[in-house]
Amino acid sequence: MEFSAQQIAGLLQGQIEGDSTVKISKLSKIEEGEPGSISFLANPKYTQYLYTTKASLVIVNKDLVLTAPINTTLIRVDSAETAFSKLLEMYNQVKLNKTGISKHAYISETATTGTDIYAGEFAVVSDNAKIGNNVKIYPQVFIGENVVIGDNTTLFAGVKIYSETVIGKDCIIHSGSVIGSDGFRFNPQNDNQKIPQIGNVIIEDNVEIGANCAIDRATLGSTILRKGVKFDNLVHIAHNVEIGENTYIAAHGVVAGSSKIGKNCMFSGQVGIVGHLEIADQTIITAQSGISKSITKKGEVYMGSPAFDAAKYRKAYIHFRNLDSIVKRIDQIEKQNKIAENS
């Protein structure tokens, strides 16, 4: 798809400086610009590349002052970073705006589908599933029986949605993620017999789940991701967990069974939460922390394993780093005391 500088300037409400007819068909970094591409300059650190870039069009701030000749057309806007983000969003919408149902897709006769859906090759929509309007079902997606999926939701290639799952509007689930698999529950008093998992997963509106995540169904009731939740890749949520609104969990995050996570929390990579805990709203947990007790006061920062208040952890860590010298000092004091006692 090709656009002129004039068309792009109109979309961004910017001012053209140079050739308004130049054609653009791709995006690029300013330092790696190629003819026919568009880039942007927001960070002063990269200003030098403006004078050498081969990009045909560059978005810059209105107040940028040129100090040498350039070989590219400029679009001046209030904020180059905001304008380029808007352009990326528009580009992504065009790129992902797929429609039509492949002849190799299977949609059950008892399933209900909305308008303008896309179903790629070897996608499966099982009995009694309900698919909303403008839903994108990429190749090799499996949607189980009685699943409900809201309008404008996208399931990328290879996503597996087990039966009874409910997914809201405007959600994105990336490739390889599995929603509704069995919770990890066995009875050690009965030869480790598997405990049936007959609940489901509920995902509310505007949730994004990264690639290769696993969200287990509840034993009874529901595992719930509230609206606005965002997961990085490789996140595991166990049975009967509830994640509060607008909470972010980075890669390798694990929440064990029946724990309740509050609203607006932020967990860095490799955070682990023990089962049956409650984590207060606005809690921040730093990378590789292990949470073994409930956090009841909202807005606090935790780190370490087992984790505790971050400020106390940093002070304790200073002493830990000096532990060897502290032990030597104690040994020396004890030797001096023994000498004094024997004299």
User: Catalytic residue numbers?
Assistant: 239
φ and ψ of 185, to 5 deg:
-140, 125
Instruction: Burial-class residue 102 by CB neighbours within 10 Å (0-12, 13-18, 19+).
Output: middle
Q: How many residues are listed for the chain in this entry?
A: 343
The Cα–Cα gap between 117 and 132 comes to: 8
The Cα–Cα gap between 246 and 301 comes to: 17
Strand partners of residue 302: 285, 309
The Cα–Cα gap between 155 and 129 comes to: 15
Instruction: Burial-class residue 58 by CB neighbours within 10 Å (0-12, 13-18, 19+).
Output: buried
List of E strands, 132-187: 136-137, 142-143, 148-149, 154-155, 160-161, 166-167, 172-173, 178-181, 186-187
